[in-house]
Amino acid sequence: MNLAFYLFGGLVGGFCSSAPVGPINLYVAATAGSSHHKGRFFFLCGVILADLLFAAVAFSGYGRYFSHSSLEPYFLLAGGGLLIFLAISTLRTSPSKLNDREFSSPVLSQGRAFIEGLALCATNPGFLAFWIFASALLLEFSHSAFSFVTLIFFLIGVLLGDVLWFCLFIKLIRWAEGKIQTHVLEKVAPTIAVLLAILGLVGIARGVWGLK
């Protein structure tokens, strides 16, 4: 059992799940100033908690009931298609046209910031679909059975991936101070889309291979 593999897989998954352009990253961009760090911190705590819950449900549920079953290729095909759809959607979405007015200023209440971050992530079924696919791909490559230990290492990786993305993104926004945040997002979006598309193609390829 290679626990480092699950740790790294969770890290990549956490990074990718946090990267797509949307309300969460728009909020982070709007509050990248140091004076907004408290509200942003609790907002991101809510986001990351929801992401970890989705990852845990997907990994444990898939790992227990579907891993290495006859349905696995279909999960890989569906998940790969979802990632390619997200890649195309990321390219076609203009951050400057998104309605981010409610995120134009930091949330004053830390509790409200946490709840809004949790709700934004938890009410998006795309996160659960992504983690089902990521779990399928990870377990398919690992050739090992689900266990509580692999789940823990996987979730630690997810946490590190989420934190890594948001830290890098905030540094990028601050580095580009004086520029419009949405302009920065439009520059980052193609890189995110390419990464999602590559993972999607890998999933589809593994799914097709599994059907043979």
Residue 179: per-residue pLDDT: 53
In the predicted structure, residue 141 carries a pLDDT above the cut 60: yes
Please say whether the beta carbons of 162 and 15 come within 8 A: yes
Asked if pLDDT for residue 99 goes beyond 60, the answer is no
* pLDDT tens digit sequence for 166-189: 998 888 777 766 454 555 556 666
Tell me if 154 sits within 8 A of 9, measured CB to CB. yes
Measured in whole angstroms, how far is the alpha carbon of residue 132 from the centre of its chain?
A: 12
Residue 25 has pLDDT above 70, yes or no: yes
pLDDT of 72 reads 65
The Cα–Cα gap between 59 and 49 comes to 15
Report d(CA 116, CA 114) in Å as an integer: 6
- Percent of residues, the chain, with pLDDT higher than 90: 16
CA-nearest of 58, 31, 55 to 44 is 31
The residue ranges of every structural domain in the chain are: 3-211
Cβ atoms 110, 37 nearer than 8 A:
no
- DSSP secondary structure of 130-197: HHHHHHHHHHHHHT----HHHHHHHHHHHHHHHHHHHHHHHHHHHHTTTS-HHHHHHHHHHHHHHHHH
69 compared with 78, residue with greater pLDDT: 78
Spatial separation of the C-alpha atoms in residues 142 and 3, rounded to whole Å: 10
Query: Which amino acid is residue 55, in one-letter code?
Result: A
8-17, 41-50, 164-173, range with the lowest pLDDT: 164-173
- The Cα-based distances of 100 to 15, 75, 95, 160 in angstroms read 22, 33, 9, 27
